[in-house]
Amino acid sequence: MANTVAISELIFIPVPGMGHIMSTVETAKLLVSRDQRLAITVLVMKPHATNSGSAITEYIESLAKNTMDHVSFIQLPRYVAPSFPDPKVSFFDEFGKCHCRYVRNVVANLTSQQGSHRIMGFVIDMFCTGMIDVANEFNVPTYLFFTSTAAFLGFKFYIQTLCDDLNEDVVELSNSDTEVAVPSFVKPLPTKFFWNFVQTRERLDFVLRSVRKLRGVKAIMVNTFLELETHAMESLSSDINIPPVYPVGPILNLEGGPTMGKQLYHDVIMWLDSQPCSSVVFLCFGSMGSLDEAQVKEIARGLEKSGYRFVWSLRRPPSDQKSGVMTDYEDPSEVLPEGFMERTRGIGRVIGWAPEVTLLSHVAVGGFVSHCGWNSLLESLWFGVPTAAWPMYTEQPMNALEMVVELGLAVEIKLDYKNVSNPKANIVIVTAKEIESGIRRVMEDNEIRTKVKEMSG
């Protein structure tokens, strides 16, 4: 009788964001391809109920139908916010506590049925640090899969050091106009680029609790590569108070995830096929990147003045800010300058949701106007397409600063732009002139293009 091969199993726990879950699934596929004695179960959190119908929901539903060798998916119950939430408990803590309960039940069930499988550890997302306690209950180690930059990971650890060891008021500091020497960045970091999670007391408290827990993980995998973030990786590796950090990227989903409709695909790709090599600028602001009508009109004017061919992924802002769900315009001309569609019919395409990988990989695309989500930046580097940086939210301004100022791998449109939903905030409009200038530089700066091509090689 043949011996049964013992299978070591890892439990992967990503959060339900496209940039998080896609790279997590690709990591799982990569790991099991290296060793057939390894199996991975991905515990899939569902987006908030109001996000039904979004691209992330469609992607999650597609995972359940996928059959992969040694990778399986278990969908966790959908989080339902309490009718009368405790004002002293943040959304992040409530969300985490709820999912810890779900994960505990699932893992207990897997453990009772595991047979030749043995659970060897949890691999968690940076927003899932509460799962460390669950892993401890099952006496298994926890590893972190960090879906952003090594520089940003260093920033998070340094923020905790500032608060706990140096007694700095980080909220006050982040809302001031100064610079801070963060070890994972080559140059002092202007506080106006700080992650928005450290700019309010409630969110900072969540960050600090998370980072304190992160110091206890077994190791950290970062979706980056040493040639790109040499300084950041060296600063992390030299700090004995940080767990071992390994660059494991770039990890990308080159199949592109959800696809565009056949008619639109035919129209856009057939049009790109007829354009000269590297002649088209692609504008896309991510799964949460929508802009108001005034800003849309400035982009249109900047594009038209630049004279460059373009494909523009233009999406309608959420009707409900809590849901964050964007939709496509039935008729984009309703928010564009009068006559724009007619005047640019031969030189551009305005579309809705766009598969970034499909477009960035096309030989006609020679520039990328991006919100600077980390996956998008890695994709642009992979395909050797230079980026014009226009960060919108979260850590994107820090990503953009690293790419433009520290690494010289992108040009600037507006690095300190804030796409805020707060009606009391001062909303900055990026002008057509700034947009035109950024487009011209990303399409014409041969030095940047050469550096990007070298990095992609």
Q: Is there a contact between 159 and 168 (Cβ–Cβ < 8 Å)? A: no
| pTM across the whole model | 0.91
Domain boundaries, the chain: 7-247, 262-456
Q: Is 397 helix (H, G, I), strand (E, B) or coil?
A: helix
Alpha-helix runs per DSSP H in 81-198 = 91-113, 131-137, 150-164, 170-174
pLDDT for residue 426 is more than 60: no
pLDDT for residue 52 is more than 50: no
Read off the pLDDT of residues 241-285 as tens digits, 9 standing for 90 and up.
Answer: 999 999 999 999 887 555 566 667 778 999 999 999 999 999 999
- What separation, in Å, do the N-terminal and C-terminal C-alpha atoms of the chain show? 50
Interaxial angle between packed helices 432-444 and 446-456, expressed in degrees from 0 to 180 and rounded to the nearest 10: 60
pLDDT for residue 122 is more than 90: yes
Read off the pLDDT of residues 219-237 as tens digits, 9 standing for 90 and up.
Answer: 999 999 999 999 999 999 9
d(CA 408, CA 454): 12
DSSP secondary structure string for all residues of 170-239: HHHHHTSS-EE--TTSSSPEEGGGS-GGGSSHHHHHHHHHHHHHHTTSSEEEESS-TTTSHHHHHHHHT-
d(CA 362, CA 372): 20
The pLDDT of residue 85 is 63
Which stretch of 1-10, 256-265, 308-317, 388-397 has the lowest confidence by average pLDDT?
256-265
Please give the backbone phi and psi of residue 120, each rounded to the nearest 5 degrees, phi first.
-105, -15
Containing 86, the helix (H) or strand (E) segment is none
Under the banding of pLDDT at 50, 70 and 90, the label for residue 95 is confident
Q: Is 347 helix (H, G, I), strand (E, B) or coil?
A: coil
d(CA 451, CA 457): 10
Q: In whole angstroms, how large is the CA radius of gyration of the chain?
A: 22
CATH assignment of 262-456? 3.40.50.2000
How far out from the chain centre does Cα 262 lie? 27
Percentage of the chain exceeding pLDDT 70: 86
pLDDT for residue 23 is more than 70: yes
Topology classification of domain 7-247: Rossmann fold (3.40.50)
Please give the backbone phi and psi of residue 204, each rounded to the nearest 5 degrees, phi first.
-60, -40
